[in-house]
Structure 1
């Protein structure tokens, strides 16, 4: 007694993704190719497979109406009793040795309403008979497929797939060029064989010789490579295809001479994100096909995936698998170098253009990355063919970070190995080479910081040169924000956003900064004072012992005051220096918090400095002269020491602050070719 199969349920459970609508056609074509091989025809020229395309009738002169069916004809062996018995057996082992799964015909009924089969074959006494039946979901073996005396003079089979269901019809390509491309791609390993049958496609009155197209557009540019993984042999074939045949670069995984699934190569080789051009400027796309007995062994019954994806599953115990599964990613990674070798001439040309683009970007905008250009081959392949500014910045930043990480690991290793090295000269050689590279990274970081300074000074210069009628907000706030963001402290603002060097390089070193905040709100002070300095800077001294709690914890206090540019009116007795001095007086009368302890600050001898940035209008100059301030040699500032308040002060003109900052940094700009000589 045999097990009966519920055909409708079998079809229902057959997996056929909508994005693979041509798989039923390919199953029919493969049956024809295998039937021809079984027929053992005396000459290759006699072997014929013809695929007729059926399109939906249209009342209008539509160029490519939807495809609704196919007719596949061959002059192969035919459905004799043995083959017909296999056809009627689900999961038949008849073609197991050549990769048959015994399920292909069920995909016909998944996508089509029916398959009309007419097959002529020779029986045991060498006479011709024909089987003629309709294969659909109501198929009954007792009523169909009985042989009759043949009218045809030669063996062969015709399969008419009709009634393409809408969900698949919408996915079938209408262009015959795309159809041919997918047909060749699926059977490309068959077309490579010397005894491949003659295959033709007939569509809308035109007959296409697929073998000739393959020889001209595929095989003429083909390459072949072999590699092994875990003792398994893989073969990779590469092809350069005309752009009319495809629109993307792909790596196809094949089993039993048929394509199963594929990867978009641009996801792993960014150089392949668009079409390529050969040495004759002819555009093409690259197609790679990898095959292996391992792939044929692990293909799923429906030929849409492989079962070795389990090797990527964290829940799979390797020793329970019975064999070491090779993940798809490992196969791909082994294939990619061969693909790059196939396209070496094209990729070198692309990378040369990219390097030129990156070199210009680094020279004009990002000198901190100059160190990376010497080893640009490390990251060029990871950029698209025509990288944008954002692409270049991201790649360079990532590469610089990777280099720094590598060198830090290397430094740790060198130091550990130093204890074991007996040959000092060898150690010195490695250590010197390491230092050379590490110092280059230091220069790169410095270049990035100098570039930042140049940009900040350009912002300052633009702000100073804004005409009075164009100012939407007070200039002192613009400058204040550039020097240090308002309403913040150094606890909140990263070092990269602090530009105190514009006023004085020494201000870069500090313990705590407050910008436009009341004294009583500062975490480092215990004070009820509501005064606020534009910028207040604290610098701690080191306390070496807890035995001296009365020691003053502060080394110095600095207050920076900004005044409205062009300001000519000051009230009687108003003096910006004294205004800042009062802020310092209140701080000195407060208590200072350090490491959770509250220590008195009350000591007038704690060094204090005031920087006042303002336009030196005639009125302000007179105030400073009456204040007994000293004028600087360039007449752009004043300075002095107030004995009563015990503060040193400097009053700086906005323009002087800009020019002095430029002078201090000019040597760095010059060395990095950042000087604007306009």
Structure 2
């Protein structure tokens, strides 16, 4: 029995049709309207539960497919037929006046307080022709029935509105029909009842996890039904990982689930069963950067979704449910809770809950990287041994260059930590009652300190191998089938137009020629004599390198018979690989003539230091290196100058005696191949120790 029907025209305070037309919903989100209606039903049930703590809510979802209802009831293969409409029935508080007013007003305060954005009905109208509402509710202790249609093809939206008082043994609740799927979305929508059920559970998984979801049943037109709560227990719950942590007195829960629809691994900070703030997880755990292949179905992959819940989050969420009212900074205060502290504890729990997966992933990753490290970066062996946990956390899929950078970062942090530990050990007072503990820390420090030294040495050895390989490459043709300019090759040995004041030790590679050249004091590179201030010369001639040997070198190798140290110079001249236009006697095209001219100028006193002549005479030894390939024109000059071929046949040498010349000199003419060969042989023992191929 009912009272008379009351017709009541109502409308939105906006142009509904325009808003729907402007709204964009991806085709892949075809079930979004269903999720919106289910969400409203859950809220209606929660409202009723506030009034009756024993109330048991239910939601029934009926799948209405395209075709004759009577015929569809008889089909066993019903799931292959497309879905036309969804019917959602709940036993919640009903479409009372408060809910109606909220529905009429976009961006209503009521929706904002429960985390809604006020566009759910627009999404529904974007994908369906209309929504049909029929609801029983209570106002002033009386039951009313309210029904209407909500259409997108009208400016106001509301149609066929009716409101009437009803009598009898009634219960509150609402039925909503999402009527007539738009074809473009219908084609992309799932049809299988199990697929639809699983997607509903995934969307509302936090409600199921927290056991606050009402009983939800999905029913086909042939009578087949799935109770989602049971499906969740059977297929989802067993794979959900959970743990708890405390910050002060506040308890926080962490749940980790698998999502086959999410696009990345995320941490979701929640309040009142809704995600308020999310963060990408790969920023904190590098191994959670890519989708994970499902073990049971190689064609499927998933991402972890980490939910963080707690009363503290519920109490400190803002009204819009878009953020929290507490700091994000990691404040050094045990009593103050910040997002940074919550995040840090959450990451610790994730590492613990996913320990098996992460350990397996990291082991596989390191096994992939080890061959690259052993071949190209053997200097990081100690870094890996002493920093295994950090190394295991570097990202997957790095290029060799990116891997080098990451390992270098870890090595740098390790060096700083060891130095700090050493400083602390030296500064701390030694407590004789804890001598055993002190000795343990001291031995640990020296063990790591020595390993760092080995790492630095290994890095230098790897550097040497790289320099040799680069020189080998530079003496080949370039992309234009021409040989590299001598300046480029020169720079590999020593930076052009630099001197010792501006070049640190590890920027030059004179060890390629002779290990002793590494310890020289005065160096000038590719400059005229007059540009080298230490030489104080007015000559405009250029030399590639002039090196003055002082105490360290002299004492090690050169003494006169009366033990007085003598000045010694090394001159190095570089020529372009395979140059073949040399001319005997031409100071510009005869490298032997060039270095002899340099020596003569020094001996004759044309070169000064601090305004005084350099004391160089007939007995002053000169070591000269001419770095040039032995082409026909150069070999002709060497034969003319009576040079002697070296035993290996790869170079020439000659002594110039002071008895016939105003200087004493030893000149070697070395082709690039010989320099590379000799450097590899000298460093072979070092390469072998690091398992680096010498060639």
Name the TM-score, length of structure 2 as normaliser.
Answer: 0.72
| Alpha-carbon offset, residue 399 of structure 1 | 0.9
2:167 equivalent to 1:155: no
Which of 502, 524, 540 is residue 514 of structure 1 equivalent to?
A: 524
> Does the 8 A contact of 1:28 with 1:159 survive in 2?
no
Secondary structure of the structure 2 residue equivalent to 1:530:
coil
Q: Are residues 183 and 630 of structure 1, via their aligned partners in 2, closer, same or farther at CA, if it must alter by over 3 Å?
A: same
User: CA offsets, 1:406-460, max 9 Å, x none?
Assistant: 1222222222226787977765543332122111111112112212222332344
Partner of 1:665: 683
User: In 2 relative to 1, CA 624–40 (structure 1 residues): closer, same or farther, beyond 3 Å?
Assistant: same
Name the counterpart of 2:612.
600
Are residue 613 (structure 1) and residue 624 (structure 2) matched?
Answer: no
Identify the match of residue 248 of structure 1 among 264, 269, 276: 264
1:432 corresponds in structure 2 to 443
Report the CA distance shift for 1:498/1:121 in structure 2 as closer, same or farther (over 3 A): same
Q: Report matched runs for 1:184-583 at 5 Å.
A: 184-192=201-209, 196-200=213-217, 209-241=227-259, 243=260, 245-277=261-293, 284-303=302-321, 305-308=322-325, 311-312=327-328, 324-327=336-339, 329-417=340-428, 427-461=438-472, 472-473=482-483, 479-486=489-496, 489=499, 495-522=505-532, 524-538=534-548, 557-563=569-575, 565=578, 570-572=583-585, 576-583=591-598
CA shift, 1:533, in A, is 1.0
- How far did residue 397 of structure 1 move? 1.3
Shift of 1:501: 0.5
Structure 1 residues 28 and 568, CA, compared in 2 at 3 Å: closer, same or farther?
closer
In the other structure, the counterpart of 1:32 is: 44
Bigger CA drift: 291-300 or 176-185? 176-185
Give, in whole Å, the separation in 2 of the partners of 1:178 and 1:289.
23
Q: Secondary structure at the match of 2:206?
A: helix
Query: Structure 1 residues 239 and 470 mapped into 2: Cα distance closer, same or farther (>3 Å)?
Result: closer
Equivalent-residue separation in structure 2 for 1:572 and 1:418 (angstroms) = 74
Q: 1:449 to 1:260 in 2, by over 3 A?
A: same
Q: Does 1:638 align with 2:653?
A: yes
- Between stretches 445-454 and 372-381, larger displacement belongs to 372-381
SS at match of 2:287: helix
Change (3 A) 1:88 1:653: closer
SS in 2 for 1:589: coil
- Tell me how far 1:641 sits from its aligned partner: 5.1
Matched, 1:129 2:129: no
Task: State whether residues 367 and 451 of structure 1, in contact with CA within 8 Å, keep that contact through their aligned partners in structure 2.
Answer: yes
Q: Structure 1 unaligned runs (5+)?
A: 1-5, 56-62, 543-553, 593-597
The alignment partner of 1:218 has SS state of helix
The CA deviation at 1:156 is 1.2
1:101 aligned to which of 102, 113, 118: 113
Within 2, Cα distance between the matches of 1:396 and 1:75? 60
Q: For 1:354 and 1:555, how far apart are their aligned partners in 2?
A: 58
Cα distance in 1 for partners of 2:567, 2:36 equals: 85
CA contact (8 A) 1:557 1:608 kept: yes
Task: From the superposition, tell whether residues 621 and 259 of structure 1 become closer, same or farther in structure 2 (CA, over 3 Å).
Answer: closer
Change (3 A) 1:50 1:625: closer
Give structure 2 stretches of 5+ with no counterpart. Answer: 1-10, 67-78, 553-565
Q: What SS does the aligned partner of 1:307 have? A: coil
**C-alpha deviation, 1:560, in angstroms:** 0.2
> Displacement of 1:147 after TM fit?
4.1
* CA drift at 1:516: 2.7
Contact 1:460/1:482, CA 8 A, preserved across alignment: yes
Distance, in Å, in 2 between the alignment partners of 1:184 and 1:486 is 69
Aligned equivalents of 2:479, 2:115: Cα separation in 1:
82
Alpha-carbon distance between aligned partners in 2 of 1:623 and 1:347, rounded to the nearest angstrom: 68
Q: 1:498 to 1:200 in 2, by over 3 A?
A: farther
Change in Cα spacing, 1:626 to 1:285, as seen in structure 2 (3 Å) is: closer
Q: Kindly indicate whether the alpha-carbon contact (under 8 Å) linking 1:91 and 1:101 is maintained by their aligned counterparts in 2.
A: no
Structure 2 equivalent of residue 551 of structure 1: none
Q: What's the offset of the Cα at 1:42?
A: 8.4
Partners of 1:565 and 1:614 in 2: how far apart?
7
Instruction: Report how many residues are paired.
Output: 625
1:157/1:514 Cα in 2 relative to 1: closer, same or farther (>3 Å)?
A: same
RMSD across aligned positions (CA): 5.3
1:648 is paired with a residue whose SS is strand
The Cα shift of 1:214 comes to 2.4
**Partner of residue 549, structure 1:** none
1:276-301 CA distances to partner (integer Å, 9 max, x unpaired)?
Answer: 35776875432221111111122233
Q: Give the TM-score, by structure 1 length.
A: 0.74
Equivalence for 1:545: none
CA distance in 2, matches of 1:29, 1:648: 100
Partner Cα distance (1:80, 1:406) in 2: 66
* Equivalent pair of 2:656/2:664 in contact (CA under 8 Å): yes
1:91/1:102 contact within 8 Å kept: no
